[in-house]
Amino acid sequence: MNCEIKTIILGGSSGNCYLIKSHIGFVLIDTGGKSKRKKLEKELEKAGCNSENFHLIILTHGDYDHSGNCAYLKEKYGVKVAMHIRDERMMRYGRAIKYKRKSKSFIKYLFLLFIKINQFKPDFNIDEGFSLSCYGINARVIHLPGHSRGSIGILTDDGDLFCGDLFTNIKKPEINKIMENELDAKTSINKLKNYLIDKIYPGHGKPFPLNYLS
């Protein structure tokens, strides 16, 4: 791919961010939650991100722990934001999270209902097959509904899959237990069998080889 991948694990309830540097500039996959904003900013500054070379933010889905810093970064850097249209309403209306059928904690779910994110309008929508070649990255978008209707993954030609919250690696690599639609999730996982995937970059936890999945 001739690109550098920087994994930014913010920790806590915040989702991971992945910064990809090409010969053209930077693309950030997800932005984490607002509580970890200072840590994210330090990592971006350390990498050399600025308003001239920071070209795109891709949201794998709309949940607050992945999109919480998006409006802020968009204003600070003038960076464009792209996501799937099926999760766009969450950004337009500041909804922090959508209903997930398998939530580990109902109390936590009720708490999340009151979390608000800064509203913003994505610059454009991306869907199955969208290429990142214009950003100097040999990768494309795969629509992977399940965790949310608008969940997407980004697959590089080298076999690196940035999967959002389809998989996690908190205690071990596994399929995310929190899904909006379990049938869609199973379909998405089966769909991945059609691709050559070497390494998974999950929304939470450390990256892992695909064959580590139990």
Express each pLDDT in 199-209 by its tens digit.
Answer: 999 999 999 99
Starting at the earlier edge strand, list the strands of the sheet with 80-83.
Answer: 4-8, 17-21, 26-29, 54-58, 80-83, 124-125
Cα–chain center distance at 60: 3
Tell me the whole-structure pTM to 2 decimals.
0.90
Q: What DSSP string runs through 72-128?
A: HHHHHH--EEEE-GGGHHHHHTTB-----SS-S-HHHHHHHHT-B------SEE--T
Q: What's the average model confidence in pLDDT over 63-92?
A: 92
Section 96-120 average pLDDT: 53
What CA–CA distance (Å, rounded) separates 213 from 100? 22
Please report, in angstroms and rounded to a whole number, the separation of the first and last CA atoms in the chain.
Answer: 28
Q: Per-residue confidence at 119, pLDDT binned at 50, 70, 90? A: confident
User: According to CATH, what is the number of the domain 4-212?
Assistant: 3.60.15.10
Q: Could you tell me what percentage of the chain is helix, strand and coil, using 3-state DSSP and rounding each to the nearest 5?
A: 30, 25, 45
Tokens 């600025």 belong to 50
Between CA 117 and CA 20 the distance in angstroms is 25
Supply 196's token pair: 């050559």
Mean predicted lDDT score pLDDT of the chain: 89
- What value, to the nearest 5°, has the Cα angle with vertex 155 and ends 169 and 89? 80
